[in-house]
Chains A and B, each alone.
Chain A
Amino acid sequence: KNEVEQSPQNLTAQEGEFITINCSYSVGISALHWLQQHPGGGIVSLFMLSSGKKKHGRLIATINIQEKHSSLHITASHPRDSAVYICAVSASYGKLTFGQGTILTVHP
């Protein structure tokens, strides 16, 4: 079993829909990261959080430390949100352990 599990693996939505991507982890962590990878391959860090909730524009990330679970929400989704979303956790010495990613496709 992977230390970081994401669901779903693939997600297709219509423009405007509310999207949720889930991440569960099995190890103790110092922080959880949500990353976005576009088709060209470059990765952008969206959020780093260790408790509660963070919001940036249409993106919201939450974490429940007791349940070892985090969610990434996208409100009013748009085709430009189409990307791979990756959950990663920082455990020892800041080393990141990554989930397999969720491929999101938003159709106009």
Chain B
Amino acid sequence: DGGITQSPKYLFRKEGQNVTLSCEQNLNHDAMYWYRQDPGQGLRLIYYSQIVNDFQKGDIAEGYSVSREKKESFPLTVTSAQKNPTAFYLCASSPRVVYNEQFFGPGTRLTVL
């Protein structure tokens, strides 16, 4: 089955610790995205990548970092510099960045204690 996987579904971390969220896709898509969702707000773009070894900041990149060493993988690290890291994080992919439907993973709910 083709799709996007994110693990784990729920993640708990202590304040001050870095944490990495995984996102894997086997759809052979070039573009991948990370979004953050907070209650009462629309999804906001953190980072996106159009191709391997390339990525661009989105609207709220501060306190986050990413890598794209493989086409199928786009991990997101939430660093201790992110002031309010508790949120629902969604990964998505699309065949190309421009004018394409995006396919979403199931999401990871991160709680920082």
Contact = CB atoms under 8 A, between A and B. Distances in A.
Interface stretch (A12-20, A43-51, A61-69, A72-80): A43-51
A98 B33 CA distance: 14
Interface residues of A, number: 25
A40 B48 CA distance: 24
Given A93-B97, A94-B31, A94-B96, A45 B102 contact: yes
Nearest to B104: A43
Contact of B109 (A41, A86, A94): A41
B104 A94 contact: no
A94 B30 CA distance: 13
A86 B42 contact: yes
Given A30-B98, A45-B102, A94-B100, A2 B42 contact: yes
A42 B105 CA distance: 7
Nearest to B98: A94
Contacts of B48: 95
Contacts of A30: 98-99
Contacts of B103: 45
A59 interface: no
Given A41-B109, A94-B96, A100 B41 contact: yes
A4 to B, nearest CB: 7
Interface string A80-108: 00000010101001111111110000000
A73 B12 CA distance: 39
Interface of A: 2, 4, 30-31, 33, 35, 40-45, 48, 86, 88, 90, 93-101
